[in-house]
Amino acid sequence: MPTQAHISHDCYRRKMAAAVGHDSPKQGYAAIIDLTRELNDAPNTPADTQAATVSILKSLFPPWLPGAFAVMFSKPFPAFSARLNAWATAVTCQWLMGPCSVMAVDDGDGQPKAGQGVKVERHVDCWHCSCRYLEESGCASVCLNSCKFPTQRFFMEDMGLPLTMTPNYGDFR
């Protein structure tokens, strides 16, 4: 029986293949990276790549859900919505990001701040945190145009959730 991770991976892969125009011959996560690189390397602008990625993200949800989430949760309950989103991301996207944990974002006083969101980090070992997508692609352009900017835009504009992703380009982890 397929697991939630397999179902999520297969759904995302189908949406990526549709955006690119064909599927990748590769298997598993390598296929996602292959399709992402192809989308990123297509002869279009970074803005086109970002728009295509936002469309892929939107296609993963029923059309009514993002707007309804913004009205029913994000606007009236920003702190709760940020935590709910981080939890849902950690539960449903570990196949994409790798093992992760949810940690409250604060201003240094140890208290979560309303509307600031929640940090989701992939722990490689006890000393290093890593983004699997960035690490496996090894490409800042893939990260920026096929993940960071479109994901931030989707969550802000469609889901009503402020999101700031801060990749580590120093070691691509």
Whether 172 maps to a domain, the answer reads: no
Whether 165 maps to a domain, the answer reads: no
Which structural domain range is residue 44 located in?
Answer: 4-158
Give the count of domains, the chain.
1
Binned average pLDDT, 10 residues per bin, the chain of 173 residues: 82 94 94 94 90 96 96 91 84 79 64 53 50 84 91 94 81 63
DSSP collapsed to 3 states, 56-87: HHHHCCCCCHHHHHHHHHHCCCHHHHHHHHHH
Whether 149 maps to a domain, the answer reads: yes
Quote the pLDDT of residue 130: 67
Quote the pLDDT of residue 127: 40
Quote the pLDDT of residue 129: 54
Quote the pLDDT of residue 19: 93
